[in-house]
Structure 1
Amino acid sequence: MAALDLKPVSTRSALLTLLLGAEVPRLSTRELVAAASVVGFAEPTVRVALSRMTAAGDVVRDEEGAYRLSDRLVARQRRQEQAAHPSLRDWDGDWELVAVTTAGRTASDRADLRAALTDLRLAEVREGLWTRPANLDLDWPAAVDDVCERFVGAPVSEPADLARRLWNLDDWAATARALLDSTATDDPVLRFTACATSGRHLLTDPVLPADLLPANWPGDALRASHVAYKQWIVEMRRALTQTAQSSA
């Protein structure tokens, strides 16, 4: 399989990836500089990026000089964690069905609802009608329940055919396999870029029941690779920070 043409990760994206994948809610400047250095970002560049990210509201700097994600990005961190560890339940053939029943909403409200339903991994059958297999424990936000009615039922058509119509499974799988190939490298910058891209790609995994997926579906493999790399980043950052502290 041909390798992906991975776009270089900006300093901002790299620092956000490190914070989004951190095991603690805040990281010091020293920890961020240490981790970023391994994947090709020099200390002056990191410090400038942190200043700009603070001004833009991406991160918040506390009194001790450590950085944490803004509330907006904490929600993104939660979505990424759910993408890496989806909450599954046994599937009995039922599908979730969501029908938009409230008219007169603004364009912004409609866009927010579409984003919320997409984050829940639903697909749009037609305008105002969304569905997915009922194999996930979903946390339905008020933004959905306030303007929609929810039902559970089973499609008359072949479920696997319906899944293929609603999601481009072949393209998703091809990208996932290419990302897995890209992570099997000794190049730390390329591996980090593939990991950051994997996190975004996992957000679009429909997480369907096995019966509805093509053979050799790479979703679980990509999740395992992504989680393992995030753990490596954590351990590497700890080791570099301890080394810097002992030599200071």
Structure 2
Amino acid sequence: MTNTLGLRPLTARSVVLSTLLGSHPPRLAARYLVRVGDLFEIAEGTIRVALSRMVAAGDLVQVDGTYELTERLLRRQARQDESRSPRTRPWDGEGTAGAGDAEDAGGAWEIAVITAERRPAADRAALRQAMAALRLAEMREGTWLRPANLTRERPEIVDQQCTFLIGRPEQDARVLTAALWDLDAWAGKAHALRAALDDADSLAERFTVAAAVLRHLLNDPLLPESLLPDAWPGAELRGHYERFEQDFGRLLVEHVLAP
């Protein structure tokens, strides 16, 4: 099950990181993070070693006895938050849309064409990562697109390397969607993760499965409902994760943050 569901071993680092990524603001005192470790039977010394290593690796900064996420992980937290509560706008798939119709996205697609030349390998890799975070699909090398139903800011590296257009496919948008995303594979894994979260008994097992759920939600293309297969499990999987988050939040209040 570990390989098929993308489950990762529970470690001191993963416990600290997942706890801070789920905290708003994402900072906790060392003593509280030690108590979180206690919930998973991780020794205090192991947690403190992990904290030191995470600071050295640039994952955390230590400020006045508290540990906070660095800028890179704050961006990851923002992506995770968006995957749980995406900002969408109407997309009926029927209207026409020109370049000035971005706010009324009836059927429009956003198209990104790479126009920058002589890009270093690091810039190409960073752009690919940024495009995936924007949930754009690569139609062919240098051309990315998706339905224009999401509201989000584009990072500078994307605007530096790409020109964006608004258009509509002449073919059935559902056919194009099926060519760009493997929706059946995403849905199948979502159903399996939901079942695994329901079946998990121990806190450690639920925590591990919930982390895999969150990673899977990051890969949800967040398409308009009219382009999704019937009984799409995205909302249901989000609901299951939210219930875990609420349960874990109560546990933190009662056993970690209590005086």
* CA distance, structure 2, for counterparts of residue 43 and residue 225 of structure 1: 31
Contact persistence 2:110–2:164 (CA under 8 A): yes
Aligned residues: 243
Cα offset, 1:101, TM superposition:
1.0
Cα offset, 1:41, TM superposition:
2.5
Q: What amino acid maps onto 2:137 in structure 1?
A: A
Q: Does 1:26 pair with 2:60?
A: no
Contact persistence 2:5–2:192 (CA under 8 A): yes
Match of 1:9 in 2: 10
Distance 1:242 1:201, change over 3 A: closer
Match of 1:83 in 2: 83
Contact persistence 2:5–2:212 (CA under 8 A): no
What is the TM-score when the length of structure 1 is the normalising length?
0.92
Match of 1:121 in 2: 135
Match of 1:44 in 2: 45
Contact persistence 2:88–2:149 (CA under 8 A): yes
Match of 1:67 in 2: 67
Match of 1:230 in 2: 245
More divergent stretch after superposition (201-210 vs 7-16): 7-16
Match of 1:216 in 2: 231
Q: Which 5+ residue runs of structure 2 have no aligned equivalent?
A: 92-105
- Secondary structure class of the residue paired with 1:110: helix
Match of 1:207 in 2: 222
Q: What amino acid maps onto 1:97 in structure 2?
A: I
Which structure has more relative contact order (CA 8 Å, sep 6+)? It is: 1
Cα offset, 1:222, TM superposition:
1.4
Cα offset, 1:40, TM superposition:
4.1
More divergent stretch after superposition (32-41 vs 8-17): 32-41
Contact persistence 2:109–2:168 (CA under 8 A): yes
- Secondary structure class of the residue paired with 1:99: strand
- Secondary structure class of the residue paired with 1:180: helix
Q: Does 1:150 pair with 2:164?
A: yes
* CA distance, structure 2, for counterparts of residue 206 and residue 83 of structure 1: 9
Match of 1:179 in 2: 193
More divergent stretch after superposition (123-132 vs 158-167): 158-167
**1:79-132: per-residue Cα shift (whole Å, max 9, x none)?**
111111110100021111111111111111111111111110000000000000
Contact persistence 1:182–1:190 (CA under 8 A): no
Aligned-CA RMSD value: 1.9
Match of 2:100 in 1: none
* CA distance, structure 1, for counterparts of residue 5 and residue 132 of structure 2: 25
- Secondary structure class of the residue paired with 1:146: helix
Contact persistence 2:6–2:212 (CA under 8 A): no
What is the TM-score when the length of structure 2 is the normalising length?
0.88
Distance 1:5 1:156, change over 3 A: closer
Contact persistence 2:30–2:67 (CA under 8 A): yes
* CA distance, structure 2, for counterparts of residue 180 and residue 62 of structure 1: 38
Q: What amino acid maps onto 1:88 in structure 2?
A: T
- Secondary structure class of the residue paired with 1:143: helix
Of 144, 155, 158, the residue aligned with 1:130 is: 144
Q: Does 1:161 pair with 2:162?
A: no
More divergent stretch after superposition (1-10 vs 187-196): 1-10
* CA distance, structure 1, for counterparts of residue 35 and residue 227 of structure 2: 43
Cα offset, 1:138, TM superposition:
2.2
More divergent stretch after superposition (27-36 vs 96-105): 27-36
* CA distance, structure 2, for counterparts of residue 5 and residue 148 of structure 1: 32
Match of 1:97 in 2: 111
Match of 2:59 in 1: 58
Contact persistence 1:39–1:192 (CA under 8 A): no
Identity of aligned residues (%): 44
Q: Which 5+ residue runs of structure 1 have no aligned equivalent?
A: none
**1:186-205: per-residue Cα shift (whole Å, max 9, x none)?**
22111100111111111111
Q: What amino acid maps onto 2:57 in structure 1?
A: A
* CA distance, structure 2, for counterparts of residue 144 and residue 210 of structure 1: 27
Q: What amino acid maps onto 1:171 in structure 2?
A: A
